[in-house]
């Protein structure tokens, strides 16, 4: 067991934001949750899968919805609704324990991202439970079906959701994870595009083979590398690429950033004009919450499940969607996909075919 320090936690969230490929939520929100729990005297205790008892009950808490702000006219729809004082994820967590009649031993992050990783940590800390050093994605992903749980045939349901208005829903008898995604996404759309959800309430013996062990430690190492590169003035994108065994594939300035909210997702396109060795070239990124396709001079260059990460070269921070501005200097770093997504079922769920591309997956680095 490792008790995570404030520095450990910040390193993890920085690394998770990089590996979140534009999605996974804002790190500022994640740090707020961490600091709230620490201020209340809570601790963040992490165990490996090998340290967790076989019959320990774990769950996967997360926030789901579009990552772009709502238009003012949409916001007005929610003005009349009451708000609960506690975070929705804690309301869902307590409701799930009541429903099961059991306490959770720990939580597993649904993905790596600035706030969604912290959401799982926060739920564990506030419940005096453990953080499991594993996750089902090794990156951030837009849908419930984009996970090693799905690849290994572990159903998400039952699922408990809660929103900021105090409305909780228990989803039972859900046919499969594709249907689970549609149900929870619909609930998010009517919850101001932001809903807390908890799924995969299973014992460690059931999930051991179906998650990526050491995923949180991987994010922490990435965050440590990022911090040390910043401290000594090294090139941050190069340091990230080296740690992640990938490559810096493009450097440029943001020319256009077009996005919209559609069916509970943030959909958009980022156009980057090349500079330095990439002068005269263009790089376009199509996003669906996360960065999904990279096109170099109009030709497909990188696709999921590879990680397409954008780094602000002036601040060193990973940029989350859709928070770009014209003239922003960025580097595109592509890292190799987590191994489970390179299996036939993994690529079927979260590869070029999911994007409607006819081509087979080709690693970009």
For 217, counting Cβ atoms within 10 Å of its Cβ (0-12 exposed, 13-18 middle, 19+ buried), the class is middle
pLDDT digits (tens, 9 = 90+) for 140-156: 999 999 999 999 999 99
Judge whether residue 288 has pLDDT over 90. yes
How much is the average pLDDT of 60-80? 90
pLDDT digit string, tens, across residues 153-171: 999 999 999 999 999 999 9
Q: Once rounded to an integer, what is the mean pLDDT over residues 329-336?
A: 99
Per-residue pLDDT averaged across 322-338, rounded?
98
- Assess whether pLDDT exceeds 90 at residue 92: yes
Residue 71 has pLDDT above 90, yes or no: no
How far apart are alpha carbons 265 and 46 in whole angstroms? 31
pTM score, whole prediction: 0.96
Phi, psi of 350 (to 5 degrees): -145, 60
- Six token digits for residue 77: 């729809």
Over pLDDT 70: what percentage of the chain?
A: 100
Confidence of residue 69 (pLDDT cuts 50, 70, 90): confident
Q: Are 231 and 85 in contact (CB under 8 A)?
A: no
Q: What are the structural domains of the chain?
A: 2-213 (3.40.1610.10), 241-355 (2.40.390.10)
Q: Does the pLDDT at position 345 exceed 90?
A: yes
Asked if residue 13 lies in contact with residue 27, where contact means CB atoms within 8 angstroms, the answer is yes
Q: How far apart are CA 29 and CA 196, in angstroms?
A: 14
pLDDT at 68 over 90: no
CA 60/CA 326 separation, integer angstroms = 37
Name the nearest CA neighbour of 265 among 361, 186, 330, 212. Answer: 186
pLDDT of residue 66: 82
Confidence band for 95, pLDDT divided at 50, 70 and 90 = very high
């Amino acid at each position: 067991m490792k008790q995570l320090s404030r520095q450990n936690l910040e390193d993890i969230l920085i690394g998770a934001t990089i590996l979140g490929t534009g999605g996974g939520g804002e790190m500022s929100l994640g740090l707020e949750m961490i600091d709230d729990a620490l201020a209340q005297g809570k601790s963040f205790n992490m165990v490996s899968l090998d340290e967790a008892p076989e019959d320990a009950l774990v769950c996967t808490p997360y926030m789901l919805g579009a990552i772009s702000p709502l238009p003012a006219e949409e916001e007005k729809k929610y003005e009349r609704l009451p708000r609960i004082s506690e975070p929705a994820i804690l309301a869902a967590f307590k409701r799930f324990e009541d429903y099961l009649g059991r306490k959770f031993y720990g939580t597993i992050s649904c993905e790596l991202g600035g706030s969604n990783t912290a959401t799982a940590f926060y739920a564990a800390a506030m419940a005096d439970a453990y953080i499991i050093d594993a996750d089902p994605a090794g990156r951030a992903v837009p849908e419930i079906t984009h996970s090693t749980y799905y690849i290994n045939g572990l159903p998400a349901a039952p699922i408990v959701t809660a929103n900021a208005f105090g409305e909780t829903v228990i989803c039972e008898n859900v046919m499969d994870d594709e249907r689970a995604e549609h149900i929870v996404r619909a609930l998010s759309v009517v919850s101001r595009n932001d809903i807390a959800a908890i799924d995969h309430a299973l014992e460690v013996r059931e999930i051991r083979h179906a998650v990526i062990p050491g995923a949180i430690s991987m994010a922490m190492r990435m965050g440590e590398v990022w911090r040390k590169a910043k401290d000594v003035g090294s090139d941050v994108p190069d340091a990230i690429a080296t740690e992640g065994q990938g490559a810096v594939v493009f450097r440029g300035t943001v020319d256009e950033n077009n996005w919209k909210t559609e069916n509970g997702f943030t959909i958009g396109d980022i156009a980057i004009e090349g500079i330095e060795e990439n002068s005269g070239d263009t790089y376009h990124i199509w996003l669906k919450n996360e960065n999904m396709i990279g096109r170099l001079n109009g030709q497909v260059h990188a696709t999921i499940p590879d990680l397409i990460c954008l780094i602000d070269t002036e601040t060193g921070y990973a940029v989350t969607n859709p928070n770009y501005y014209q003239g922003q200097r960025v580097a595109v770093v592509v890292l190799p996909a987590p191994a489970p997504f390179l299996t036939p079922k993994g690529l079927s769920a979260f590869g070029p075919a999911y994007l409607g591309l006819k081509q087979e997956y080709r690693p970009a680095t």
